[in-house]
Chains A and B, each alone.
Chain A
Amino acid sequence: MAAVDLPLPGLGAGSGVITVDAGGACSLRVFDAGLACCGVEVAAALRRAGALAAAGDVEEQGAPLNIFVVAGTVTDKLAPFVLKAFQDTPAPRRVLSFGACSNSGGPYWDSYCVTKGVDQLIPVDVYVPGCPPRPEALLEGLALVLRSRGSAGDGERR
């Protein structure tokens, strides 16, 4: 995927951009495990990204990189299914933890039935903080996944 400038909100005059540069040969496939409120923000972000792709701003080329986004509270009852969904994600795959609940349990860290962070179950590559994070924060997190892709190896190992 060629470098893409996505608009970024902010305060004050002028507008910023976030450049998502996959280094030339990659297309992103995002699977959203929208478990709770953060799922709404991820849906908003993906809808916007999808609109950009449909408008022709983004070209899909090269091998797909599958990104498993965990957005929302991971309860103990649901944990086995999150694990199964991750295991079903084909390689090369990365995991992005979106929001405080999937980072560390968040406001429910002391609950009796909450998994304190999805990294207790699956290896996480990027943590996006927020409660919930902005949709643009997901795009920044995806950009970080792509940036650290090279340093983490080819990705074939998982």
Chain B
Amino acid sequence: MTGGAPAGGDLPARSRGVIALLEENCTACMLCARECPDWCIYIESHKEPVPGHEYGAGVTGPAPGDEFGADVTGAVPGAEFGAGRSGPAPGPAAPGSGDDGPRSGADPVRGPAGRGRQRVRNVLDRFAIDFSLCMYCGICVEACPYDALFWSPEFSYAETDIAALTHEQGRLREWMWTVPPPPAHDAGAPLPREGLADRPRA
């Protein structure tokens, strides 16, 4: 029995068949779940620390055993100048010293080595849309500030079990591969506000 992906020429360009999630763009901001009139988007997330960005002289990566910056507590903004790391104190590298390794101290061009403060990011545990409730209004797609939700024209996902109509993260990602490229603007449509500043003045 064939079925599944439609491949004809009949569907309108912005057909609302199913909603796809690009997880990489999602920050678990909860806006879609809050705006959904049907209460059919279920999001669970937790916070994870992100080590500060290392910058400065000759930095090629964290020292062994120092992947997440054991010295970094995240409370003090600004750089810690090599505190707790092994190696010479920051200072101009001796010329001609050859392979100084990753902890050679201050670079005369880039400045002293250091690490930015620890950040925190949201990690998605669960993102599910219950398509038995969904009314395909598109408020979630419009509300998402990070363009993580997309419309796809797929419509062949009937089920024999209503619980299977709740699509979890993996299935929502699968729908991403069916999302068409954005169609051209209709003739006479007002120009989008994004990018207006970049347009050459008439």
Contacts and interface: CB of A to CB of B under 8 A. Distances in A.
B162 A127 contact: yes
Contacts, number: 128
Contact of B155 (A19, A21, A127, A137): A137
B42 to A, nearest CB: 14
Main secondary structure on chain A at its contact with chain B? mixed
Contacts of B50: none
Contacts of B60: none
Nearest to A148: B160
A126 interface: yes
Interface stretch (A49-57, A59-67, A81-89, A104-112): A104-112
Interface centre among B10, B137, B153, B165, by most A CB within 10 Å? B10
Given A106-B133, A109-B133, A130-B136, A10 B158 contact: no
A12 B137 CA distance: 24
Contacts of A105: 133
B59 interface: no
B134 interface: yes
A45 B38 CA distance: 27
Given A9-B10, A14-B8, A127 B160 contact: yes
Interface residues of A, number: 42
Interface in A121-136: 124-131, 133-134, 136
B37 interface: yes
Contacts of B8: 7-11, 14-16
28 contacts: A9-B11, A10-B8, A10-B11, A11-B153, A14-B7, A15-B8, A16-B2, A16-B7, A19-B3, A20-B1, A100-B133, A104-B132, A106-B38, A107-B37, A107-B38, A107-B133, A107-B137, A109-B133, A117-B132, A119-B162, A127-B160, A127-B162, A128-B158, A133-B155, A137-B155, A140-B3, A143-B1, A143-B3
Interface of B: 1-3, 5-11, 13, 15, 17, 37-39, 130-137, 153, 155-162, 165, 180
Given A11-B7, A11-B15, A106-B132, 9 more contacts: A7-B8, A14-B8, A104-B133, A107-B137, A128-B158, A131-B136, A134-B17, A137-B158, A144-B158
